[in-house]
């Protein structure tokens, strides 16, 4: 009878050790996830830009023998969202196929400035960029995607005029 009791004691100790290790792993995973959430939420996830309007217009620059699209997006940065800079604009078909991509501070060929457009909280901004691409039929639906310096993407669907 005594040998049976010894086996029960050993099983009980092993079970207690397994439970303690499992509890330590769960606590560690919870704390590391919580700390990771606090670290990343201060920048990227708080940027909440909205594109409130946009237009895509075909233009030709005869002096440069160049044609393409002037894309202009009107962006609103709601209160509570930090100031952010929009650095890149993309024009895509609605199926996700990239038409063109350009810095948002190049309004027309050869007219680039050195600073991206910054939008303060509760502020609005006109964000233009130029895309060199062959002419699309008027009324074609396209997506305008703006990318901030933090990597946040904002999308808006417009039609080519």
More confident residue, 38 or 90: 90
pLDDT of 63-89, one tens digit each? 777 888 889 999 999 988 888 888 888
pLDDT at position 74: 94
Q: What is the mean pLDDT of residues 142-158?
A: 90
pLDDT of 1-55, one tens digit each? 555 557 788 888 999 999 999 999 888 887 777 655 554 444 445 788 899 999 9
Distance of CA 40 to the CA centre of its chain: 14
pLDDT at position 106: 53
Can you read off the two tokens belonging to residue 99? 């038409």
pLDDT at position 161: 87
Question: What's the first-to-final CA gap in the chain, in angstroms?
Answer: 92
Distance of CA 105 to the CA centre of its chain: 18
pLDDT of 126-138, one tens digit each? 988 888 888 888 9
Query: Between the CA of residue 69 and those of 22, 59, 73, 100, 128, what are the distances in Å?
Result: 59, 6, 13, 10, 10
pTM of the complete model: 0.66
**Dihedral (CA of 94, 98, 100, 105) sign:** positive
């Amino acid at each position: 009878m005594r040998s049976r009791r010894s086996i029960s004691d050993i099983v009980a100790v092993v079970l207690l050790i397994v439970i303690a290790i499992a509890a330590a792993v769960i606590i560690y995973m919870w704390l590391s996830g919580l700390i990771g959430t606090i670290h990343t939420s201060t920048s990227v996830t708080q940027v909440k830009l909205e594109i409130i309007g946009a237009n895509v217009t075909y233009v030709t620059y005869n002096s440069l023998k160049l044609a393409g699209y002037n894309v202009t997006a009107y962006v609103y940065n709601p209160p509570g969202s930090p100031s952010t800079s929009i650095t890149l604009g993309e024009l895509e078909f609605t199926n996700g196929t990239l038409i063109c991509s350009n810095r948002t501070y190049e309004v027309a060929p050869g007219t680039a400035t050195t600073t991206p457009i910054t939008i303060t909280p509760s502020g609005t901004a006109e964000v233009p960029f130029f895309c060199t691409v062959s002419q699309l039929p008027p009324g074609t639906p396209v997506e305008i995607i703006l990318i901030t310096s933090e990597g946040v993407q904002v999308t808006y669907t417009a039609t080519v005029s």
